[in-house]
Structure 1
Amino acid sequence: MIISKLSIVIPAYNEGRTIHLILNKVKAVELINDIQKEVIIVNDCSTDDTELAVQRYTNENPEIEIKYYKHNVNQGKGAALHTGISKATGEYLIIQDADLEYDPAEYNDLLKPVVNGFADVVYGSRFMGSNPHRILFFWHTIGNRWLTLASNMFSNLNLTDMETCYKLFKTSMVQSLKLTEKRFGFEPEVTIKMSRIPHIRIYEVGISYYGRTYYEGKKIGWKDGVRAIYCILKFGLFKAK
């Protein structure tokens, strides 16, 4: 598979303190086969200096292609991803959080099954392989595994980490989906809907995870877990469009 450009979609909400650090990591990555990078940042109406941080970084680093979009009203991570996905022009795109929990140095690990002609979609799993994984919350881990199991029951996949941030999609495929979830329900919705594309090839690779505590800025909470269960039933059991 020949890929000329990878779109990197970064939803951002109040990430002014760290977004330049993740952009440095994205910039430093040299993709296999000389694949070019297109960085798409969607600011979901941040109340901090996220916009100024992005503008400053763009001015200081003109050599990296950065496309910047802003929501005038806070809509949620899923909505920011909808915007970013719609603007992607690379043959493939990957989702990258604006914090430092996931390492862009592992993009090539996710790209290899695609470049070698095996995959259309690649998920980066925090729960497989021997990569570094920060030890944090027991119940979050149990919740993630349970949500993945429930999602697998309806998608007929055997993923180990449905809730992972690192999802690499063939752009035309994910752009063909009608995605409606505006918050963290994006994860089960896109997974279940993607699984229904005829003859789709989905792979998983192990990735590292440098998780944050709530004190450090983690945003997902128990209400998002409840919404994820609702979405699994909505899109899996009742096959909502």
Structure 2
Amino acid sequence: MEPKKLSIIIPAYNEGNTIHEILDKIKTVSLINDLEKEIIIVNDFSSDNTSFAVNNYRISNPVLNINFVEHKKNLGKGAALHTGIKYANGDIIIIQDADLEYDPNEYNILLKPILDGVADVVYGSRFMGGNPHRILFFWHSIGNKFLTFLSNMMTNLNLTDMETCYKMFRAEIIKSLDLKEKRFGFEPEVTAKISKIPKIRIYEVGISYYGRTFEEGKKIGWKDGFRAIYCILKYKVFK
């Protein structure tokens, strides 16, 4: 059946100052094949004004299809994604961070392989050439590439950016997975589990990246890197 709707899952934790900006960008995007947009925002028990900002935005923009879900305690990004996947009604699902590091205007780049009928999953790679890429931290980029390399060894894939936020799935694929990781272990876990699906068709496309510094609100740290290594090994070697 031809896909009709794209579900955009936004996990949000203390993003009250910028979430309206990412929603403005999503609002202006015209999707190919006239796909509808469904936005699922999961507030992971933010301690700032995220809840107020989202509710205020919904009132001001009634034409946007926004489903707002709130956790009663902080559970982690992965847990917020699990909630978003559960509530998604679209035929295709994409993950969108609440910050401004990734550009919704590039949804159509990821959609094309799926709508062309050649892909089930599409990753947006920050390391494929030709797109704007903010220059930030050397060791952070080395860490990302090492995690991708290790993940590729375990999954026999040849991804260039396993840790990317922009992952797009046919809804039946992502909803079929029993996902466990509640924090940033989501990325290696979902990659390991889709790699085991028989005849899965995974594509990668180049995207832009407008990275943030820690002072600007970036949240992932070295502990999450070690957790990612653990998850890569866990979902291959131990299970």
> One fold, TM greater than 0.5?
yes
Q: Distance in 2 between matches of 1:61 and 1:106?
A: 22
TM-aligned CA deviation for residue 66 of structure 1: 0.1
Report what 2:176 is aligned to: 176
The residue correspondences of 1:92-241 to structure 2 (distance < 5 A) are: 92-239=92-239
TM-aligned CA deviation for residue 227 of structure 1: 0.2
Q: Distance in 2 between matches of 1:236 and 1:133?
A: 32
Identity %: 70
Is the CA contact (8 Å cut-off) linking 1:93 and 1:170 kept in structure 2? Answer: yes
Q: Distance in 2 between matches of 1:194 and 1:157?
A: 11
Is the CA contact (8 Å cut-off) linking 1:16 and 1:48 kept in structure 2? Answer: yes
Q: Distance in 2 between matches of 1:163 and 1:140?
A: 11
Instruction: Give the partner amino acid of 2:37.
Output: K
Q: Distance in 2 between matches of 1:167 and 1:192?
A: 13
TM-aligned CA deviation for residue 90 of structure 1: 0.5
Is the CA contact (8 Å cut-off) linking 1:151 and 1:236 kept in structure 2? Answer: no
TM-aligned CA deviation for residue 154 of structure 1: 1.0
Report what 1:50 is aligned to: 50
Q: Secondary structure at the match of 2:214?
A: coil
The residue correspondences of 1:61-100 to structure 2 (distance < 5 A) are: 61-100=61-100
Instruction: Give the partner amino acid of 1:141.
Output: S
Q: 5+ residue gaps in structure 2?
A: none
CA RMSD of aligned residues (A): 0.7
Q: Distance in 1 between matches of 2:97 and 2:221?
A: 16
Q: 5+ residue gaps in structure 1?
A: none
Output one character per residue of 1:13-42: Cα deviation in whole Å (capped at 9) or x when no partner.
000000000000001000001000000000
Q: Secondary structure at the match of 2:216?
A: coil
Output one character per residue of 1:95-126: Cα deviation in whole Å (capped at 9) or x when no partner.
00000000000000000001111000000000
TM-aligned CA deviation for residue 238 of structure 1: 1.6
Q: Distance in 2 between matches of 1:129 and 1:39?
A: 29
Q: Distance in 2 between matches of 1:182 and 1:208?
A: 27
Q: Distance in 2 between matches of 1:171 and 1:39?
A: 14
Is the CA contact (8 Å cut-off) linking 1:185 and 1:224 kept in structure 2? Answer: yes
TM-aligned CA deviation for residue 129 of structure 1: 2.3
Q: Distance in 2 between matches of 1:186 and 1:116?
A: 27
Is the CA contact (8 Å cut-off) linking 1:125 and 1:205 kept in structure 2? Answer: yes
Report what 1:4 is aligned to: 4
TM-score normalised by the chain length of structure 2: 0.99
Output one character per residue of 1:148-168: Cα deviation in whole Å (capped at 9) or x when no partner.
010011111000000000000
TM-score normalised by the chain length of structure 1: 0.98
